[in-house]
């Protein structure tokens, strides 16, 4: 990428923007999915026991965790290029819309009992990676990372448990929803 700066293909501002997206998008999201996913899975011991007994359930569980946690909770913004009819409004060209990912992921018309984690549900219609042409470029990597981390972590530490009350976890609400630290023991 530095080559592209030297040749003028990218400006310094564009390069910094790309690095910012990669750092926040590529690290913060996955790291906080692991932190929050660990808390949630430990709060659903029956489902965690099923995952430990049958690791083929992990890919589906990862989709459900992505839906349930929606860590990239900042609204996605879209600009209408042409007139768009929505159920409750009409957008004119040039008008912007804010589409909160987490509201879509907890939509009761799409997901039964959306506030409950169910690792057996078909959650693939979730919007945790956004939607459309700007849908997350790193989603395949993120899915593999989450699958490997959760499966291997609970295999390596089968007695893993939280060392503090989930209510006392220092949650953070920045560009990505997450936690500064999750204390565990085994
Ligand atoms: C659990 C992990 C992740 C979540 C929840 C997530 C979520 C998102 C969301 C919601 C968007 C915006 C999509 C939209 O506007 O429609 C996005 C974009 C993006 N993500 Fe991720 N992401 C994750 C992991 C990653 C990883 C691992 C990488 C790269 C290594 C990555 C790179 C990107 C990039 C480059 C974009 C911008 C795509 C564009 O604007 O065309 N993400 N991500």
pLDDT, tens digit, 9 for 90 and up, residues 107-139: 999 999 999 999 999 999 999 999 888 899 999
Cα 78 to the chain's mean position, in Å? 19
Q: What is the CATH number of domain 10-185?
A: 1.10.630.10
Residue nearest to atom 40 of ligand 1 (CA): 134
3-class secondary-structure state, position 181: coil
Residue nearest to atom 35 of ligand 1 (CA): 137
Q: How far is the CA of 137 from the centre of ligand 1 (A)?
A: 6
The average pLDDT across 163-169 equals 95
The average pLDDT across 141-150 equals 98
Q: What's the pLDDT tens digit per position in 61-114?
A: 999 999 999 999 876 788 999 999 988 889 999 999 888 888 999 999 999 999
The 10 Å CB-count burial string (b at 16+, else e) for 43-79 is ebeebbeebeeeeebbebbbbbbbbbbbbbbbebebe
pLDDT at 88: 85
DSSP element (H, E) containing 178 = strand 177-179
Contact between 34 and 176 (Cβ < 8 Å): no
Q: Which residues have C-beta within 8 Å of that of residue 36, sequence separation ≥ 6?
A: 69, 71, 177, 178, 179, 182
Looking at 14-115, which runs of residues are DSSP E strands? 76-79, 84-85, 90-91, 96-99
Contact between 17 and 132 (Cβ < 8 Å): no
The average pLDDT across 39-53 equals 97
Ligand 1 neighbours (beta carbon < 6 A)? 21-22, 25-26, 29-30, 33, 71-72, 76, 101, 128-132, 134-138, 141-142
The average pLDDT across 14-41 equals 92
Percent of the chain with pLDDT strictly greater than 70? 99
As a whole number of angstroms, the distance between CA 27 and CA 72 comes to: 12
As a whole number of angstroms, the distance between CA 142 and CA 105 comes to: 18
């Amino acid at each position: 990428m530095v080559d592209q700066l030297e040749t003028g293909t990218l400006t310094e501002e564009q390069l910094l923007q790309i690095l910012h997206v990669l750092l926040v998008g590529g690290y913060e999201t996955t790291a906080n999915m692991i932190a929050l996913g660990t808390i949630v899975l430990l709060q659903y011991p029956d489902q965690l026991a099923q995952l430990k007994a049958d690791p083929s359930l992990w890919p589906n569980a990862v989709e459900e965790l992505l839906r349930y946690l929606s860590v990239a909770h900042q609204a996605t913004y879209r600009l209408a290029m042409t007139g768009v009819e929505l159920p409750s409004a009409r957008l004119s060209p040039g008008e912007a819309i804010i589409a909160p990912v987490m509201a879509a992921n907890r939509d009761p018309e799409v997901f039964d009992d959306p506030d409950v984690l169910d690792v057996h549900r078909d959650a693939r219609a979730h919007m945790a990676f956004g939607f459309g042409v700007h849908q997350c470029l790193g989603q395949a990597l993120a899915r593999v990372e989450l699958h490997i981390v959760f499966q291997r972590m609970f295999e390596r530490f089968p007695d893993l448990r939280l060392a503090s009350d989930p209510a006392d976890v220092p949650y953070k609400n920045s560009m990505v929803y997450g936690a500064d630290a999750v204390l565990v023991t085994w």
